[in-house]
Structure 1
Amino acid sequence: MKTRTLYPVLLASALLFSGCTTVGFHAPTFGSEKKEPSADQIDAYPNRPIEIIVPTGAGGDTDLGARLLGRYLGEEMDTSFVVTNIAGAGGSMGSREVLEADPDGYKVLFFHNNLLINKLYGLSTFNHNDFKIAGIALMDHGDTFIVHGDAPYQTANELAQAAIEQPGELSFATEVGGYTHLQMMAFEEATGADLKPIDVGGASDKLVALLGNQVDIVPIAYGVTADYIENGDFASVGVLSSEQHALYDNTPTFLEQGIDVEFEKFFFFAFPKDTPDAIVARFSEALKEVVENNEAYQEQAESYYTIPTYMAPEEATRYMDDVSHSYERLIERLETQTN
């Protein structure tokens, strides 16, 4: 039986990594003139703390992944990493903070699929191609829909049937226009379900809403809610990956249940577009070493229900291009059916 990491303890322990990561909240500063690094500064990189901008609130899977990687990257690069949370606009606020930062390697974005979706939905004017990608570091194949443990629907098919029989009555916690909203719409398209989206907020807000019976369904990473599932408070109706994983207790996929919906979450690092290649390469090399060869990191990442997966900058960019195109086709199809 695998060792589980309790979610509240997980956040607390991440905050206690002495000298490696801290949490900060501040208003983003846009519009200042960018300062290019000198040749000497490039050669000396890094010689001061590096700030990871997480464009979500504290406590979710993105934040926790950034903190864990910050600890081990700090050891690998012999510097400290500071995590700053700048939530808002589906991640666009924090992402823009990095987009408009000095291209000196000391401010880096850690985010996921939502960066692509924000532009496709018109919530932002930029996507991954407006940054310099340093690499993909993590995959989460455990995207899931969770419901109350005593709900009358405990599988994806039962949930779909309930949403067909009660159109617009079952509420779905999401960030309207974001990654989970797209999952909901794909589920509706594939099954004929009719759900009511409720804009709740981040992962912790969604869990509170479900615990308080304010919503019926929460799309979330399996690892964030695994302990609630184990104790019976919540139930997973299925995972959205292409196949079952032991890491997620071999929970049946939507595909196995005959529902053609598949989403897998990736987490990446990105710098401002004009960041020198030498700086990005140095960061990426350290990331590769941590993800592929640091057994302590790998063990902890898996205890957080994420799968260490390194993709170099060019490969990661191509992968993100492909994912963006698949989302674009899905959104076009959904819009065609709505009109």
Structure 2
Amino acid sequence: MNWKRFLSGLTASALIAALVGCGSNNAASPSGGNGSPGEGDYPKKPIELIVPYAAGGGTDAVARAFADSAKKVLPQPIGVVNKTGGGGAVGMSEGSKAKPDGYKVTLVTVEMTTLPLLGLAAFTPDDFKPVARLNADPAAITVRADAPWNTIEEFLDYAKQNPGKVRIGNSGTGAIWHLAATALEQKTGAKFNHIPYDGANPAVTALLGGHIEAVSVSPAEVTAQVQAGKLKMLGVMADERLPKFANVPTLKEKGVDLSIGTWRGLAVPKDTPDNVVAVLKEAAKKVTEDKAFTDVLDNMNLGVSYADDAAFKEAIQRDSELFTKLVADLGLKK
């Protein structure tokens, strides 16, 4: 071929295109030309976030707030998909069995540790790789405003001296708030009459109506009634006092070494590559610092509580050990 004649016949734009095309194989590689997947390759398509509970609840709200704020820090969108059933077992089971490529993430809750113990789920926490915790809320002991106890010490002393006379409502047998009250019994020697309800709200309604003496649900579920002067919170099962209830002591301050509650966080199948977890972990950290996200949780009286993958894994293991013992003591272990 006469290359001189060929090149002279090309326009300037055609010449540039021809030269670029010669090196297109290397230029097209997002990881620098060697074809191997790198950290920058993820995510290359939208991510699905499984919410194991119905739309409209607290877990769903946390997920959607996370997805909205994550748009600012991830190159691909996150789509929230509600997979309900089995008290969270259906959605978390699907998430545990997903392809471990980071494109199907699960918003796990504390029930990840309790459902397997109760024989209600085939997965275990070991089937997941924790990414980051987003939210945590402790159990709290709340009574009617006209109750005779004004401190957690008075409440516990009465429950010790009058075994079974204090009816304490929870969100269902074996649910987190039932386990919290049981843990309090074991730590203090108090004896309660545990009354299960179909969720925290019915338990709070029963307390307002005088059908029970206390509830062990989260502060978020009694905030409105406490602020209205209908209920009073005596103590929280947390490591530190809550900003919105700064006058309410922790049980640890009163000599009861107990920190227990619910949480929500991100998890992926156990074989997911570490570089994918790193991307999601960093995104979660930035989201929990985003005002749009924190405002949503604050409006729902939910606590923002970021923990990275290592700290989240440690918290899950700690809860698993505690709940294994509690469920066995209650005779609920399957």
Q: Calculate the TM-score normalised by the size of structure 2.
A: 0.73
Match of 1:147 among 134, 143, 147: 143
Match of 2:77 among 73, 76, 79: 79
Moved more, 283-292 or 119-128: 119-128
* Number of the residue aligned with 1:108: 105
Shift of 1:217: 2.4
Shift of 1:130: 0.8
* Number of the residue aligned with 2:132: 135
Q: Secondary structure at the residue paired with 1:119? A: coil
In structure 2, the CA distance between the partners of 1:69 and 1:275, relative to structure 1 (3 Å rule), is same
Q: Report whether the alignment pairs 1:66 with 2:66.
A: no
Shift of 1:307: 4.2
Q: Secondary structure at the residue paired with 1:146? A: strand
1:138-217 superposed matches below 5 A: 138-140=135-137, 142-164=138-160, 165=162, 167=164, 170-217=167-214
Contact 2:46–2:79 (CA under 8 A) maintained in structure 1: no
Match of 1:287 among 284, 287, 290: 284
Describe the superposition over 1:35-58 as per-residue Cα deviations: whole angstroms up to 9, x where unpaired.
xxxx79x94635235233134774
* Number of the residue aligned with 2:52: 54
Describe the superposition over 1:5-41 as per-residue Cα deviations: whole angstroms up to 9, x where unpaired.
xxxxxxxxxxxxxxxxxxxxxxxxxxxxxxxxxx79x
* Number of the residue aligned with 2:312: 316
Where does the alignment leave 5 or more consecutive residues of structure 1 unmatched? Answer: 1-38
Match of 1:99 among 96, 100, 105: 96
Shift of 1:131: 0.9
1:200-239 superposed matches below 5 A: 200-239=197-236
Shift of 1:73: 1.8
Q: Distance in 1 between matches of 2:269 and 2:253?
A: 41
Moved more, 62-71 or 162-171: 162-171
Q: Report whether the alignment pairs 1:119 with 2:106.
A: no
Contact 2:50–2:91 (CA under 8 A) maintained in structure 1: no
In structure 2, the CA distance between the partners of 1:297 and 1:189, relative to structure 1 (3 Å rule), is same
Describe the superposition over 1:120-168 as per-residue Cα deviations: whole angstroms up to 9, x where unpaired.
454434332211222122333x421222222333432333344342625
In structure 2, the CA distance between the partners of 1:112 and 1:330, relative to structure 1 (3 Å rule), is same
- Report percent identity of matched pairs: 27
Shift of 1:252: 1.3
Shift of 1:237: 1.8
Contact 1:240–1:261 (CA under 8 A) maintained in structure 2: yes
Task: Report the residue type matching 2:77 in the other structure.
Answer: T
Q: Report whether the alignment pairs 1:270 with 2:267.
A: yes
Contact 1:53–1:98 (CA under 8 A) maintained in structure 2: no
Contact 1:139–1:306 (CA under 8 A) maintained in structure 2: yes
Task: Report the residue type matching 2:243 in the other structure.
Answer: A
Q: Distance in 1 between matches of 2:157 and 2:56?
A: 35
Contact 2:116–2:124 (CA under 8 A) maintained in structure 1: yes
Task: Report the residue type matching 2:280 in the other structure.
Answer: F
RMSD: 3.3
In structure 2, the CA distance between the partners of 1:205 and 1:277, relative to structure 1 (3 Å rule), is farther
Q: Distance in 1 between matches of 2:257 and 2:308?
A: 30
Contact 2:105–2:267 (CA under 8 A) maintained in structure 1: yes
In structure 2, the CA distance between the partners of 1:57 and 1:206, relative to structure 1 (3 Å rule), is farther
Q: May I ask how many residue pairs the two structures share in their alignment?
A: 293
Q: Distance in 2 between matches of 1:216 and 1:88?
A: 30
* Number of the residue aligned with 2:22: none
* Number of the residue aligned with 2:43: 45
Q: Secondary structure at the residue paired with 1:170? A: strand
